[in-house]
Chains A and B, each alone.
Chain A
Amino acid sequence: MSVMVRLDKCQAIYGGNITSVQSAGDLENGSFVNLGGLISGQTDVYETATPSSTNFDVEEVLLVYTPEVNYEPGKTLKDFTNLADQPSRAYHLSVGDVITITDDGLTGTTVVSEYVIPATGSFNLVAASSLGTTTRMGGKVIEKGYFGYSGSGYSKTACTTFRVVKA
């Protein structure tokens, strides 16, 4: 099963601050990536780079979220993964954006009123009790709920909704 994303509120939807990114491996929706260099021969597609504590404070983190369309019939939101070496849509974040991600796309257990921050060597945000001072990006968890279905389609998937407080 793949990670599911719901973009509750996001400046980039209207402001248009959206970038195409491409990764050497499959990329889940709900990945938080740094931007690498331009893909050779393209003007608007960037390599993804993995967040690292060495540059947490400077590198911008973008949310990967491509429309979930599978070519096979009978596939739903949970079945979608961005394919390697193909452009995926990535949103630049702004303070005040509200994002919902199923919990399988987050490391650790999120707690309402606590935080999610980037983690070294991972595209997944990690649950943290405090925001800390070292990361440029951070989100505050505002709600825990359910979004979409998992498994055979009957059990709901736990999700976390957070508001971007640093971007």
Chain B
Amino acid sequence: MDAIVQMALKLFEGTRNPDALKFSYDESNQIFTDKLIKDSVEYAGLPYTAGMKMDYSLYTHPLVQHKLFNLIGAAIDAILPKLLTNQFDSFIDVRNMAWGDKLSIEVTSSDIFAVTKVSQGNVNVRRQKLDRRAINLTPIMREVRVYEDLYRLLAGRMAWGDYAQKVALSFVNAIQTDVYTALYDSYDGTESTYFATGSFSSTTFTTMAEHVKAANGGVPVVAWGTKLALAKVNAHTGYTAYPGLNSQNMLDEYNTMGFYGKFQGTTLLQIDQAHVANTDTFAISDSFIIVTPMGVDKPVKLGFEGNTIITENSLNKNADQSLEYTMQKMWDTQILTAGRYGIYRVS
């Protein structure tokens, strides 16, 4: 992997976990930007001096522009899948297909065969067979286009590299929202075994967990939700009711993490909350808990068609001297799994 791409990855991880960085985030960002400029300038065969800034003559140099643009593109392509798998890793099965290819996914049925009693000397019993389940992914093109005036860029009033990074983050946010929405809406009210609503009941929760476990051949199950959702997974109200049942350890755990690490034998794991783009609205419902089997076929199939398309218009192409940066990516998400999972909307 290119050194610059590794730096970009580190930097992105630093946005979530600043302690992992060697320097402060701002310093790291500056080092990354300097390295971008250095690589681009040297690629063009120009002398690089420390602290060099991108001025007009550098920006308009075709080789500098070409290299800079490719470095940013490579960094984004490396970062996108990494960021994506952080959050919904346990739910998403990512597939990549070529342009124009249709992706069909088939999974086996979770049903098994019925065994009957039979008399000796008789093989003439009813025959059985199972169907497979299949879906077709039909990706739709998604696009983000940003712009900035050349004058503002030259005057250092904004950093163009920031926009490129933000665009990549925006795509991650959009994909995650799609994944979450697909999961959230995957059961309708007619499903009674694997779908429940209402205020939290430990019996309902554990019954569902047992169903999910049984339907998946007895593998361990875990429950996922946002911190606020998991906080509702509590047989009592608050910290102190029924003190006989809440050990000091449980109270500490509830206070430190915001929820119990385990509830009646089912491990609880947190999904990081996010915002709907440009709002203060939570992207993930705080009443949403999903119970999934571990290590079984992941429920959300995410298919990307083709590569990420990144285009940047050349300077002075637009009549108003604005720069544009466009990113396009094609994907679709659908729910299909050989296993079963449960959804509990806790009010």
Contact = CB atoms under 8 A, between A and B. Distances in A.
Nearest to B151: A67
Contacts of B152: 67-69
Contacts of A146: 278-279
B147 A15 contact: no
B325 to A, nearest CB: 14
A53 to B, nearest CB: 31
A8 to B, nearest CB: 9
B322 interface: yes
Contacts of A13: 318-320, 322
Contact of B319 (A18, A67, A68, A145): A18
A102 to B, nearest CB: 14
A67 B158 CA distance: 12
A91 B322 CA distance: 13
Interface in A40-71: 67-69
B276 to A, nearest CB: 12
A14 B319 contact: yes
Nearest to A67: B149
Nearest to A11: B319
B218 to A, nearest CB: 50
A15 B278 contact: no
B320 A68 contact: no
Given A7-B147, A69-B151, A12 B320 contact: yes
Interface in B150-180: 150-152, 155, 157
A16 B318 CA distance: 7
Contacts of A91: 320
Contacts of A136: none
A89 interface: yes
Interface centre among A7, A16, A69 (most CB of B within 10 A): A69
A16 B147 contact: no
B320 A89 contact: yes
B311 to A, nearest CB: 14
A68 B157 contact: yes
Nearest to B155: A69
A12 B278 CA distance: 27
Residue from B152, B157, B318 whose CB has the most chain A CB atoms within 10 Å: B157
Q: Which of B149, B150, B319, B320 has the most CB of A within 10 A?
A: B320
Interface string B314-327: 00001110100000
Nearest to A65: B320
Contacts of B279: 146
B157 A15 contact: no
A13 to B, nearest CB: 5
Contacts of A145: 278
Contacts of A17: 319
Which of A15, A17, A67, A69 gathers most chain B CB within 10 Å? A67
B149 A16 contact: no
Contacts of B157: 68-69
Nearest to B280: A156
A16 B322 CA distance: 11
Contacts of B322: 7, 13
Given A68-B157, A69-B157, A18 B320 contact: yes
A67 B155 CA distance: 11
A61 to B, nearest CB: 18
A146 B280 CA distance: 11
Interface string A1-30: 000000100001111111000000000000
A116 to B, nearest CB: 22
A13 B148 CA distance: 12
B307 to A, nearest CB: 26
Contacts of B318: 13-14
B155 A16 contact: no
A68 B150 CA distance: 11
Interface string B229-271: 0000000000000000000000000000000000000000000
Interface of B: 147, 149-152, 155, 157, 278-279, 318-320, 322
9 contacts: A7-B322, A13-B318, A13-B319, A16-B319, A16-B320, A67-B149, A68-B149, A69-B155, A91-B320
Interface of A: 7, 12-18, 67-69, 89, 91, 145-146
Q: Which 8 A-B pairs have the closest CB atoms?
A: A16-B319, A67-B149, A67-B151, A69-B155, A67-B152, A13-B318, A13-B320, A69-B151
